């Protein structure tokens, strides 16, 4: 049992030594390079919308954006 | 006949490959360089928020310019002009107007597959001053399919109270960020973000009071100042997916989980759709849902004065949810390069947000229902790329 376990662990660790090949080739990235393929197409707008929520919700973080005051005192 | 069909197939295949090669050559800078600096652009935005007795309007100007090789600098000027008769103001104070000005400056430095960024933000209003310093490093790897970003920001705030020159407090914020951006397929992007935020100091609003039951008063209720813990630790993690649909449109799906040591757990889910029409118009629509539990020391009504060590009646610390429906339209003005301007767009966005509180009573209504309100959020902005 120990032998099977240690062999499995070694095999898993050895897999980490293999080189990772990109599975999306450069010539397949035309869609990814389209301007609409962006999480934040207009930073000035997404920063403002994020601020609207930050001021009025208890949760914050994991959405990007800068700090600052809130104008809500 | 067979040869003619064969020739047709060869021509079609050749054309298909020619188109692919042309696309790759056009996009070469995006596809071959690992990390790239953001585009040079300038945006002028007017924003308006109107809801719950609060009206906030103002401009935001964002300019970014790089040397097209190593450096890109950005600057932002942002203003909130506030007129407030919110539920807190109506029940505990009097209507007020104020303004907040915010300046930001940032620089990005590109070296091989690495982008290093520094930024500084200053926010100033009559009773709150905030300075925030941020630094991040971003590394692109695995054939430009993976980008890992580590970031840290530190905020130092001065909290003041209008018409009380003796009141002065501080708040300190530290935000540790880790994010992973991953190409999952030729049509699918994923972004995972994690933030650990610690706050220390004066963390509440110096004007707001809690409500307690007071039989000695004709109204049956009394008010006393809020008291919050002086520390707060938050963790937030989000997963975002962006998918390119076969007919040139995108759909975005996001989820965020948030938890902190004040007892607030929150979930945010968002769905957004972007649909270009022709070469000049882009339409978008979205829906967002947010829900949170209340803080351990929050109460709508406390049973008596001084009932707890920590007491809050901030509706943002209560149990509630909000829903946002959004639409937007973008129009490209020029269609081709004119002078130094590569592209110019006009954009309009509108969001309607419905806030529904589960344990925050509307004290202005004799029937004492749970408070709820809707907010209208407008954005109009022009952008140029150069």
| pLDDT level of residue B93 (50, 70, 90 thresholds) | confident
Identify the pLDDT of residue A64: 54
Identify the pLDDT of residue B31: 47
* Angstrom distances, CA of residue B294 to CA of B55, B235, B238: 26, 16, 21
pLDDT score of B10 more than 80: no
Please identify among residues 125-184 of chain B the ones whose CB lies closer than 8 Å to any CB of chain A.
125, 127-130, 132, 134, 142-145, 153, 155, 157, 159, 173, 175, 183
Contact B76 A44 (CB under 8 A): yes
**CB-closest option in B76, B153, B274 to A67:** B153
Token pair for B377: 């959020």
**CB-closest option in A21, A62, A68 to B238:** A62
Average pLDDT for residues B335-359, to the nearest whole number?
95
| pLDDT level of residue A3 (50, 70, 90 thresholds) | confident
| pLDDT level of residue B365 (50, 70, 90 thresholds) | confident
Identify the pLDDT of residue B95: 83
Contact B316 A56 (CB under 8 A): yes
Contact B23 A36 (CB under 8 A): no
**CB-closest option in B38, B62, B240 to A44:** B62
Higher pLDDT, B20 or B269: B269
**CB-closest option in A33, A44, A66 to B31:** A33
Nearest Cα to Cα of residue B148 among B31, B72, B35, B30: B35
Q: CA B185 to CA B145: how far, in whole Å?
A: 9
Least confident of A29-38, A62-71, B98-107: A62-71
Inform me whether the C-beta atom of residue B47 falls under 8 Å from chain A C-beta atoms.
yes
Q: What is the pLDDT of residues B273-331, one digit of tens each?
A: 999 999 999 999 999 999 999 999 999 999 999 999 999 999 999 999 999 999 999 99
Identify the pLDDT of residue B219: 85
Contact A24 B145 (CB under 8 A): yes
Residue of B nearest to A22 (CA): B143
| pLDDT level of residue B85 (50, 70, 90 thresholds) | confident
Identify the pLDDT of residue B239: 96
Domain ranges of chain B: 1-32, 36-385
pLDDT score of A38 more than 80: yes
Give the A-side interface with B, CB within 8 Å. 20-24, 26-34, 36-39, 41-45, 47-49, 52-53, 56-64, 66-73
Residues B348-381, buried b or exposed e (16+ Cβ, 10 A)? ebebebebebbebbbbeeeeeebbebebebebeb
Average pLDDT for residues B10-29, to the nearest whole number?
46
CA distance A24 to chain B (A): 6
Identify the pLDDT of residue B142: 87
Inform me whether the C-beta atom of residue B379 falls under 8 Å from chain A C-beta atoms.
yes
Give A28's contacts in chain B (Cβ within 8 Å).
186
Identify the pLDDT of residue A71: 44
Range with top average pLDDT, A5-19, B90-104, B170-184: B170-184
CA distance A54 to chain B (A): 10
Q: What is the pLDDT of residues B299-311, one digit of tens each?
A: 999 999 999 999 9
Evaluate if pTM is beyond 0.80.
yes
Token pair for B163: 């018409």
Residue of A nearest to B152 (CA): A66
Identify the pLDDT of residue A20: 67
Identify the pLDDT of residue B87: 87
pLDDT score of B25 more than 50: no
| pLDDT level of residue B2 (50, 70, 90 thresholds) | very low
Please identify among residues 26-45 of chain B the ones whose CB lies closer than 8 Å to any CB of chain A.
27, 30-32, 38, 43, 45
pLDDT score of A53 more than 80: yes
Residue of B nearest to A47 (CA): B60
Give B104's contacts in chain A (Cβ within 8 Å).
66, 68
pLDDT score of B163 more than 50: yes
Q: CA B242 to CA A37: how far, in whole Å?
A: 7
| pLDDT level of residue B35 (50, 70, 90 thresholds) | confident
Average pLDDT for residues B9-27, to the nearest whole number?
46
Quote the ipTM score.
0.89
Average pLDDT for residues B168-176, to the nearest whole number?
96
Give A34's contacts in chain B (Cβ within 8 Å).
244, 248
**Does domain B36-385 sit in CATH 2.40.160.40?**
yes
**CB-closest option in A37, A48, A62 to B237:** A62
pLDDT score of B61 more than 70: yes
């Amino acid at each position: 049992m120990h032998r099977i376990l240690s062999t499995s662990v070694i095999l898993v660790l050895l897999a980490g030594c293999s080189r990772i090949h990109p599975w999306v080739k450069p010539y397949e990235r035309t869609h990814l390079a389209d301007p609409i393929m962006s999480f934040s197409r207009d930073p000035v707008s997404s920063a403002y919308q994020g601020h609207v929520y930050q001021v009025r919700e208890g949760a914050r973080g994991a959405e990007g954006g800068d700090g600052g005051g809130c104008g809500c005192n | 006949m067979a040869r003619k069909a064969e020739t047709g197939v060869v021509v079609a295949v050749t054309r298909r490959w020619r188109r692919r090669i042309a696309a790759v050559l056009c996009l070469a800078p995006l596809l071959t360089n690992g990390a790239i600096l953001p585009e040079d652009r300038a945006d002028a935005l007017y924003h308006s928020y109107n809801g719950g007795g609060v009206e906030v309007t103002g401009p935001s100007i964002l300019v970014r310019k790089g040397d097209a090789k190593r450096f890109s600098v950005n600057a932002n000027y942002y203003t909130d002009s506030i007129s407030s008769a919110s539920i807190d103001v109506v029940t505990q104070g009097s209507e007020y107007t104020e303004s907040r000005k915010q300046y930001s400056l940032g620089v990005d430095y590109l070296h091989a597959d690495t982008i290093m960024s520094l930024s500084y933000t200053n926010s100033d209003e009559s009773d709150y001053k905030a300075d925030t310093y941020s630094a991040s490093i971003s590394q692109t790897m695995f054939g430009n399919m993976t980008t890992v970003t580590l970031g840290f920001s530190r905020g130092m705030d001065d909290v003041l109270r209008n018409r009380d020159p003796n009141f002065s407090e501080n708040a300190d914020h530290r935000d540790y960020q880790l994010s992973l951006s991953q190409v999952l397929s030729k049509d699918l992007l994923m972004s995972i973000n994690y933030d650990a935020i610690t706050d220390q100091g004066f963390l509440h609003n110096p004007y707001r009071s809690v409500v307690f039951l007071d039989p000695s008063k004709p109204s049956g209720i009394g008010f006393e100042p809020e008291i919050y813990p002086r520390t707060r630790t938050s963790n937030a993690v989000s997963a975002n997916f962006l998918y390119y649909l076969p007919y040139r449109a995108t759909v975005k799906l996001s989820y965020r989980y948030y938890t902190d040591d004040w007892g607030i757990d929150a979930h945010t889910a968002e769905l957004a759709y972007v649909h270009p029409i022709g070469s000049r118009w882009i339409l978008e629509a979205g829906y967002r849902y947010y829900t949170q539990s209340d803080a351990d020391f929050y109460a709508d009504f406390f049973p008596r004065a001084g009932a707890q060590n920590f007491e809050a009646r901030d509706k943002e610390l209560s149990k509630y949810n909000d829903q946002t429906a959004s639409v937007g339209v973008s129009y490209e003005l020029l269609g081709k390069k004119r002078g130094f301007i590569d592209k110019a767009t006009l954009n309009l966005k509108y969001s309607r947000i419905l806030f529904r509180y589960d344990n925050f009573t509307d004290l202005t209504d004799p029937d004492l229902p749970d408070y709820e309100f809707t907010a209208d959020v407008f954005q109009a902005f022009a952008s140029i790329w150069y």
